[in-house]
Amino acid sequence: MNALVDGFGRTVRYLRISVTDRCDFRCVYCMAEEMTFLPRAQLLTLEEIAALSQAFVELGVEKIRLTGGEPLVRQGVLTLVQKLGALVGLRELAMTTNGSGLVKHANALRQGGLHRLNISLDSLKPERFKALTRTGDLDQVIAGIRAARRAGFQSIKLNAVLLKGRNDDEIIDLVNFARDEHVDISFIEEMPLGAISEHNRGETFLSTDAVRETIENHYQLLPTTETTLGPSRYYRMADSQSRIGFISPHSHNFCAACNRVRVTAEGRLLLCLGNEHSVDLRSVMRRYPGDTQRLKSSIVAAMKKKPERHHFTTDGEVQIVRFMNATGG
């Protein structure tokens, strides 16, 4: 029985955990070029993340996704994957990554019990990819995608954040790349988290309706009811196994069916991506080490704080001051 039901009758089945706020990229929509990261002592330890995950699974969570920052820069993350992969009752263990570490780690991740990978890919043009990520190497990411395929993952999905005038001319190229690589792809509307100066979010916003219209000029999209417990709405193409997903926090608000909560790298249980409602679980674990029942009670009580919806706008205004890397994907 799932004990995690919020005040609006929604059942939480999906937990996203940020294992670090650090990243080897500096994507323009995610963080500032010069970042100050959390001191190590403020981060949850890997043991605390494992204990927290077990508590959530015992309360009914079926899926856990490890995020960052970039989770593969966290020392010891492979050991954490092995621990979570062994949790009784967890149906799916996933990770969101920028792909830069997959050539090195894909096999160990798969053998450790990781089922699914989401890999960020916003451009197939090396110079543009470098500009959007500030530090990323496109060839390394593509090699990582192929290493993940060879490692035998059940599902690999590319995530592309589209910015009008920046990379929206690559929509069909990205779809064709996903088809050629036999992976899925989701197109994501930019979320207004953190104050950035690199571009004006109001001017670069592109709705997924416009993206879908562009794709449908080349491929017929067939709606499906498939879900991975996340917010993507999936479509299929008659001549490909690759699915196309759309994540639309602005144009098609998915709050009514929200089944997710997040834990930040410093142990804050975030009840909504677009609100600041949260509970400090790190303080509970450190004040009462080993008291699983107290931890679970704190999690259950926190469900009452989950708001009905977020209020993202498309005018470029910042609703949330924290950056995406501090939130956890």
Hey, what amino acid is at 307? Answer: P
Q: Tell me whether strands 63-67 and 92-97 are parallel, antiparallel or unpaired.
A: parallel
306 annotated as ligand-binding: no
DSSP state at residue 322 = S
Residues ≥6 apart with Cβ < 8 Å to 143: 102, 103
228 annotated as ligand-binding: no
DSSP state at residue 200 = -
> Cα–Cα distance between 218 and 84 in angstroms, integer?
41
> Cα–Cα distance between 277 and 240 in angstroms, integer?
41
Q: Strands of 268-270's sheet, edge to edge?
A: 222-223, 233-237, 240-247, 184-188, 155-161, 116-120, 92-97, 63-67, 14-18, 260-263, 268-270, 278-280
255 annotated as ligand-binding: yes
Buried residues in 92-114 as b, exposed as e (16+ CB within 10 A): bbbbbbbbbbbbebbeebbebeb
212 annotated as ligand-binding: no
Placement of tokens 């449908």 in the chain? 216
272 annotated as ligand-binding: yes
201 annotated as ligand-binding: no
261 annotated as ligand-binding: yes
Instruction: Tell me the sheet residues that pair with 236.
Output: 222, 243
Distances (CA, A) of 188 to 5, 69, 224, 233, 251: 27, 17, 18, 11, 11
65 annotated as ligand-binding: yes
268 annotated as ligand-binding: no
23 annotated as ligand-binding: yes
144 annotated as ligand-binding: no
288 annotated as ligand-binding: no
Q: How many CB atoms lie within 10 A of CB 206?
A: 23
262 annotated as ligand-binding: yes
Which parts are annotated binding residues for GTP?
16, 65, 96, 157, 260-262
Which parts are annotated binding residues?
16, 23, 27, 29-30, 65, 69, 96, 120, 157, 191, 255, 258, 260-262, 272
Which parts are annotated binding residues for S-adenosyl-L-methionine?
29, 69, 120, 191
Which parts are annotated binding residues for [4Fe-4S] cluster?
23, 27, 30, 255, 258, 272
